[in-house]
Chains A and B, each alone.
Chain A
Amino acid sequence: MAEKPAADQEPSLPQLPKSPTGISGFDQITEGGVPRGRPTLVCGGPGSGKTLFSMEFLVKGAVEYGEPGVFVAFEERPEELTKNVASLGFDLADLAARKKLLLDHVHIERSELEVTGEYDLEGFFVRLGYLIDSIGAKRIVIDTLEALFASLPNEAILRAELRRLFRWLKGRGMTAMITAERGLDEATLTRHGLEEYVSDCVILLDHRVSGQISTRRLRIVKYRGSYHGTNEYPFLIERQGISILPISAVELRHHVSTDRVSSGISRLDTMLAGGYYRGSSILISGTAGSGKSSFASSFAAAACRSGERCLYFAFEESEPQIKRNMAAIGLDLGAWTGQGLLRFEAARPTVYGLEMHLVRMHAAIEAFQPAAVVMDPISNMTAMGNPREVNAMLSRLIDFLKEKGITSVFTTLAHPESTEETEVAISSLIDTWLLLRTVEMSGERNRTLFILKSRGMAHSNQVREFLITDRGIELTNVYIGEGLVFTGSAREAQEAKDRAEALARRQEIEQRRRAHERQRRLIESQIATLQTQLDQEEEDLKMALAQMELRDKARSVSNRRQEELRRADAVDERAGSTGRGRGKEKHHG
């Protein structure tokens, strides 16, 4: 016991030496793997993947880290094990031949066993020691140690011996993985309480079935002296082995592109200021029958038209059905499949579990190497597990697609009353989100489109109506009135109304203009009349003045003539007589 037991759990401890497991994702969660030179307990129910997990730990250790390993199996025979893990690409026979891995089968038949008196497990120790020494093993797996409890009586002896076994393994510096069956009740990790002996690292594997769909999860129950993720991590058994999905460990370092790819709908491209970004993820959500598949197919056809490969995952409809339906709106998908640019992968989500779907999709993408991927619809995935798991799976998938620079279009069914809430979970993973809605107005349902978000591009904020025509999807002109976008026949009515109103306005203007003209002419004629009157007036005035002048002249001539005739006064006197006379009166009065 050179090493001090890490029971004190001081945070100031230097980083615990760790052995990488090589299991993708696990070393990230644990920041390096399992504790080196110590036993790790892997517990889980039947079929939870304990054997595979520990086998991969051994195989990766032997192949990638140069640490030979011993696999002691209590339940499966070496031939069976070899066959079972061959599907994961582990060639145990070859590893055994190269002395990198040893398989041993421990088998005890309870029926041929009798016990009398005391015993110990020295035989097992000797056997392990012999196996370890024969290839210089650094790692060992004992799967499933608890089988001993079923085979050997006298639990007290067994427990003492197991305690000794763990000490012995530690003493030999073996990085060990011991698997154990999950306890029958949720409170106990293992059926026989092995966790009490293994205090360094305990991993719990779980294989739950909900809604007839199974999902696998992993949780690190305890890891002395080390930080570790405490969440439940979904994991998959993939072609390359176990793969854990540590979402937090996802490195957001994709190559981003400013290239645009067409959505297949020219006016939509305009709304997006040029189309989708290459390698981005697009979510098209909408209610039933709002045209999601048509949008997705338009995108697929556009990709093919530009000579790129597109992979279409159909989770609802079969390939011929999609082709028929899209042919009706002028998209000849059959031509593209014929040219090998388009490929369909159709399967009901409920056929496989969540992980199988991921595996299938990965495999299909790797095989076809598409530039564009359509998944129609992803909302069906929720049938495979709870939203959190689906979310984890999708994030993993989207990450994978982004890493490969694949433009991906996902459709999702939204319920009318929760259009924008349902997909909140995955919205953060989505770059461009189109919302399709049917608007009910004046006895008809019409389809509208709205760009809910589009990262990194100036996009239109307008709600647009679109029509699914036999030439594909067409975005119509926008008619807005009273704060609403008019759609369908309401839009047509509005258009007609607008036309009528325009005509009426033109007519009114014409009428007003004519009325004014009339008025003007009337007034002008009045002005002319008045002018004539005025001229007349002036003429009359002139004439009158001339007459009066003549009259005045005539009178003065006649006055002088009278005076001359009467000769009554001197000319001078007579001239001022009237004034003087009055002055005299004043004077006297």
Chain B
Amino acid sequence: MAENKSKENAERVGTVGETGALRRGSKKAKYELRLYVAGQTPKSLTAIANLKKICEEHLRGQYHIEVIDLLKNPQLAQGDQILAIPTLVRKLPEPIKKIIGDLSSTERVLVGLDVRPPIP
């Protein structure tokens, strides 16, 4: 079951730029995440890879990732107030959280997602 899920998630991460096609099973996910990128830049690819790794290690089975390429869907930048690229948006659980950058620090990402309390 858990393996299935992670496989599914992995697939979704792979579908960069596809939106709205991920309704199936998403309601069950505790962490609803959206990663905004602009084209396949090195920074974007690093962020995607980092996010995948972190989620698999710490949130296995509880997450759902949607990758949005603003070059393909520029109108989506407005809704989530995206300026910086890459930006990871935690849509769920509320409140909305944003993490910008290439997600190179696992610690900071976990703090940003409220998975772990802030480092003192």
Where the two chains meet, the residues of A that have a C-beta atom closer than 8 Å to any C-beta of B are 104, 106-108, 112-124, 126-127, 129-130, 148, 152
With A120-B85, A126-B71 in contact, do A152 and B78 touch (Cβ < 8 Å)? no
With A116-B109, A129-B74 in contact, do A123 and B82 touch (Cβ < 8 Å)? yes
Q: Which of A116, A118, A123 contacts B99 (CB 8 A)?
A: A116
Closest to B113 in A: A114
**Could you list 25 examples of A-B contacts with CB < 8 Å?**
A106-B83, A108-B81, A112-B97, A112-B98, A114-B109, A116-B101, A116-B103, A116-B104, A116-B108, A117-B46, A117-B104, A119-B43, A119-B85, A119-B86, A121-B83, A121-B84, A122-B38, A123-B38, A123-B84, A123-B85, A123-B87, A126-B38, A127-B70, A129-B74, A130-B78
Closest to B89 in A: A112
| A114 pairs with B74, CB closer than 8 A | no
B20-42 CB mask vs A (1 if < 8 Å, else 0) is: 00000000000000001010010
A148→B100 CA distance, assembly (Å): 14
| A123 pairs with B83, CB closer than 8 A | yes
A112→B77 CA distance, assembly (Å): 17
A431→B45 CA distance, assembly (Å): 77
B49-92 CB mask vs A (1 if < 8 Å, else 0) is: 00000000000000000000011001101100111111100000
With A122-B38, A126-B38 in contact, do A116 and B74 touch (Cβ < 8 Å)? no
Judge if B120 is at the interface, Cβ distance under 8 Å.
no
Cβ contacts under 8 Å, A119 to chain B:
43, 84-87, 100-102
Shortest beta-carbon distance, A140 to chain B, in Å? 15
| A126 pairs with B77, CB closer than 8 A | yes
Judge if B95 is at the interface, Cβ distance under 8 Å.
yes
Cβ contacts under 8 Å, A113 to chain B:
97-100
Number of interface residues of B (CB under 8 A): 34
Shortest beta-carbon distance, A116 to chain B, in Å? 4
Q: Which 7 pairs, one residue from A and one from B, show the smallest C-beta to C-beta distance?
A: A114-B112, A117-B101, A117-B104, A130-B74, A117-B102, A127-B77, A116-B108
| A114 pairs with B83, CB closer than 8 A | no
With A112-B96, A123-B82, A148-B83 in contact, do A118 and B102 touch (Cβ < 8 Å)? yes
Cβ contacts under 8 Å, A115 to chain B:
99-101, 108
Judge if B105 is at the interface, Cβ distance under 8 Å.
yes
Closest to B109 in A: A116
With A116-B108, A123-B36, A130-B74 in contact, do A106 and B99 touch (Cβ < 8 Å)? no
Cβ contacts under 8 Å, A129 to chain B:
74
A464→B100 CA distance, assembly (Å): 83
Seed contacts A112-B95, A129-B74; 5 additional CB < 8 Å A-B pairs: A112-B97, A113-B98, A119-B84, A123-B83, A130-B77
A192→B78 CA distance, assembly (Å): 25
Cβ contacts under 8 Å, B82 to chain A:
123-124, 127
| A118 pairs with B74, CB closer than 8 A | no
With A116-B105, A126-B77 in contact, do A121 and B85 touch (Cβ < 8 Å)? yes
